[in-house]
Amino acid sequence: MDDPTRYAISEDGVSIAYQVHGEGPLDLVFVPGFVSHVELVWEDPALARFLRRLASFSRLIFFDKRGQGLSDRLGRPPTLEESMDDLRAVMDAAGAERPAILGISEGGPMSILFAATYPERVAALVLYGTFARMLRSEDFPAGVSPERYEGWAGLVRSEWGGPVAVELWAPEEVGNPEFERWWARLLRQGTSPAGALELMELYREIDVRPALPAIDVPTLVLHRAGDKLIPPRQAEHLAAHIPDARYVELPGESHLPTGGDQEQLLDEVEEFLVGSRVSEPERALATVLFTDIVGSTETAARLGDRRWRDLIERHDATVRRELTVHRGHEVKTMGDGFLATFDGPARAIRCACAIREGLGQIGVEVRAGIHTGEVDLIGSDIAGMAVNIGARVGAIADSGEVLVSSTVRELVVGSGIEFEERGTHELKGAPGDWRLYAVR
């Protein structure tokens, strides 16, 4: 496979290394797991064979995540939003308008979020050896115990430079000196020791469970029954919560897709992708932002009609300017407020804060509510429970406050945004209690 390494430029100017192979009837983007290097992957015979098989029935596109391999190294792990931007940049650079996506291991959560957020850009989704949330919690018993996860992190700290945890990633290769040399080299050249530990810390916090019901593309979930890193119950959770997902459990213990009987795995992938339906999406994952002028009725009465109209015009211009800057989409205005959507919650938060600051300069106080969830696409409008929750969160916010749901807080891990707890609330029309957080 002699095609050269190329570079896509992401939204923020970061260069992402990628390769394209094959001339099959469909585009397939391979999203890598823990560590990647688009050139070293060809030095392992099993992985090279795996990629050649994928390229035999597709135009295969694969890339190095930012901070890894031949992509730009920024000294910190990417957020989920940055990773989605990078994936979209690679797709655009490779001319892949609506490819299938194959998310492997730690590449799975971002693939899940991308497919839920951009259903019009994804023909089908295949998930192997992956998860929506890594760690076990009270509401997620399928996760890995914190003690076991800390043990993995300890192996990364103590063994980096050598074939770290081969017995976990590829137990069938233990004692194979050729594979162990390649595995150690891939890890060393894929990222730094500090980078690997930062990734391990990031994986503790990632939770994309809210995105699962919003996936509106054909989905295949694959997992090996004896996977020593990610237990099969993680895959069962994915398949149970993604609408109409198909789940196939394969024999073997390897966490790497290339271990054991890779032909059975590849047969499942090929059969699924070649015969997958492609339909127009009717729903998508979105971050919903509601803004509202505080005390608008009293202010309008005090200013009078003409001055109030002037103020509203300045308000609308400020909001629309920040929506443009932060890649927001205006859904509609509601007299003294806006409903807008974003493809990432961190952008929505930063936009809301910028709106608050900009309007404060003209003497207008606003409050904002933000929630991420599944929305129904109805022409140019949106509807559904996520819209209702966003409105309720906004109504609870104090003057000058940007208030978010716990879902939003969990999805912006690694963004540097800080929050203060605002307690648990009942939201009219929404089931259960909701923990809310104010942006600092």
**Domain-embedded: residue 44:** yes
Q: Which of 221, 240, 274 is the last residue of a domain?
A: 274
My answer on whether 136 and 58 are in the same domain is yes
CATH number for the domain harbouring residue 379: 3.30.70.1230
**Domain-embedded: residue 353:** yes
Q: Which of 244, 274, 304 is the last residue of a domain?
A: 274
pLDDT of residue 219: 97
Domain tally, the chain: 2
My answer on whether 295 and 203 are in the same domain is no
My answer on whether 295 and 245 are in the same domain is no
pLDDT in tens, the chain (440 residues): 567 899 999 999 999 999 999 988 899 999 999 999 999 999 999 999 999 999 999 999 999 999 999 999 988 889 999 999 999 999 999 999 999 999 999 999 999 999 999 999 999 999 999 999 999 999 999 999 999 999 999 999 999 999 999 999 999 999 999 999 999 999 999 999 999 999 998 888 899 999 999 999 999 999 999 999 999 999 999 999 999 999 999 999 999 999 888 999 999 999 999 876 556 667 899 999 999 999 888 888 888 888 888 989 999 999 999 999 999 999 999 878 999 999 999 999 999 999 999 999 988 999 999 999 999 888 889 999 999 999 999 999 999 999 999 999 989 988 889 999 999 999 888 888 899 999 99
My answer on whether 80 and 148 are in the same domain is yes
My answer on whether 356 and 208 are in the same domain is no
Using alpha carbons, select from 138, 135, 139, 115 the residue that is nearest to residue 125: 115
My answer on whether 270 and 288 are in the same domain is no
**Domain-embedded: residue 246:** yes
CA geometry: angle 283, 286, 291, nearest 5 deg: 125
Q: What is the pTM of this model?
A: 0.86
Q: Which of 274, 301, 317 is the last residue of a domain?
A: 274
**Domain-embedded: residue 190:** yes
My answer on whether 287 and 260 are in the same domain is no
pLDDT of residue 303: 83
pLDDT of residue 1: 52
My answer on whether 161 and 52 are in the same domain is yes
Q: Containing domain of residue 358, as a range?
A: 283-439
My answer on whether 435 and 318 are in the same domain is yes
Using alpha carbons, select from 23, 18, 19, 25 the residue that is nearest to residue 278: 25
DSSP secondary structure of 322-384: HHHHTT-EEEEE-SSEEEEEESSHHHHHHHHHHHHHHHHTTT--EEEEEEEEEEEEETTEEES
My answer on whether 287 and 270 are in the same domain is no
CATH number for the domain harbouring residue 224: 3.40.50.1820
**Domain-embedded: residue 380:** yes
CA-CA distance, 427 to 108, in Å (whole number)?
31
CA-CA distance, 80 to 202, in Å (whole number)?
10
CA-CA distance, 191 to 194, in Å (whole number)?
8
CA geometry: angle 367, 370, 376, nearest 5 deg: 130
**Domain-embedded: residue 296:** yes
pLDDT of residue 300: 83
My answer on whether 368 and 397 are in the same domain is yes
My answer on whether 32 and 146 are in the same domain is yes
**Domain-embedded: residue 1:** no
Structure tokens at 90: 């690679």
